[in-house]
Each structure stands twice: as C-alpha cells, then as structure tokens.
C-alpha cells in the first residue's frame, strides 16, 4: 500500500511531507498510515486506487457508525455529522477546529434543553 500526504506530518518515526507518496510498510508504519488516512491527513496513492478496481471510492467514506466517538471520526465524517445536525462550522477546516465547533454547539444545545 502507498499513501499520499495531504498535509505535513511530524512524528518520532519521521516527517512525511505534503504531496509526497510513501510506501506502507517501509517509509511509514501501517498503524501510522491508518491514523493518517482516518484523520483525513493522507489518501491512498493513485496507483493503489487504480489497482483496487472499478467502484473504489477516491473520497473518504462519510458513512459512520452511530456509536463511533466524534474523536475517532475522520474530517469528512465530522463534516457530514455537522451537516446532519445543522451545525455551522464557520471557517473550521482542521479536525480539531471542527471537533471544537461541534462539541461547543452540542453543549450549548444541551444546556438550552436542560433549562
């Protein structure tokens, strides 16, 4: 498997640069690759998508398990959740910013309904 980075990632295993493609395992551990893919920081390399055959999605899956914690969801899954819940993310684009916007709004709604 190969991944292509969408952002810079610094890690004790080494730095992975934006736009570059890395071998997994080899230049990047499988565990780290899964975290990067799940977090939306990397995508499968084009060669791997082509080898997977027709019908393979290039975009991350936005379907989620209802009981999956927000912190474990990808950026795309969080955006889909926010849209479903009608939560305005403003200019939030990073996972931490999106999580903050969602949790702040959910807490506000809970406080309102508890009055």
Query: For 97-106, what is each residue's pLDDT tens digit?
Result: 999 999 999 9
Strand order, beta sheet including 42-44:
21-23, 2-5, 42-44
SS (H, E, C) 74-85: CHHHHHHHHHHC
- Residue 10 belongs to a domain: yes
Structural domain count of the chain: 2
pLDDT at 20: 85
- If DSSP codes are grouped into helix, strand and coil, which group holds residue 35? helix
62 pLDDT more than 50: no
Whole-number pLDDT of residue 65: 61
Do the bridges between strand 42-44 and strand 2-5 make them parallel or antiparallel, or are there none, so unpaired?
Answer: antiparallel
Do 74 and 41 fall within a single domain? Answer: no
pLDDT of residue 108: 92
**6 and 44 share a domain?**
yes
**Is the model's pLDDT at 54 over the cut of 80?**
no
| Average pLDDT for the chain | 79
What is the Cα–Cα distance from 85 to 94, expressed in whole angstroms? 19
> 103 lies in which domain range?
70-112
> Facing residues of 5 across strands?
42
Residue 61 lies in a domain: no
């Amino acid at each position: 498997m190969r991944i292509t980075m969408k952002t810079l990632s610094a890690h004790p295993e080494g730095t992975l640069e934006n736009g570059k493609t890395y071998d997994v395992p080899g230049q990047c551990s499988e565990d780290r690759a899964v975290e990067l893919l799940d977090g939306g920081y990397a995508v499968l390399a084009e060669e791997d998508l082509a080898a997977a055959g027709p019908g393979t999605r290039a975009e991350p899956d936005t379907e989620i398990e209802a009981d999956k914690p927000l912190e474990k969801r990808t950026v795309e899954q969080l955006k889909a959740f926010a849209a479903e819940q009608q939560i305005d993310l403003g200019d939030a684009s990073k996972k931490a910013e999106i999580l903050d916007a969602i949790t702040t709004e959910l807490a506000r709604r809970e406080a309102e309904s508890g009055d």
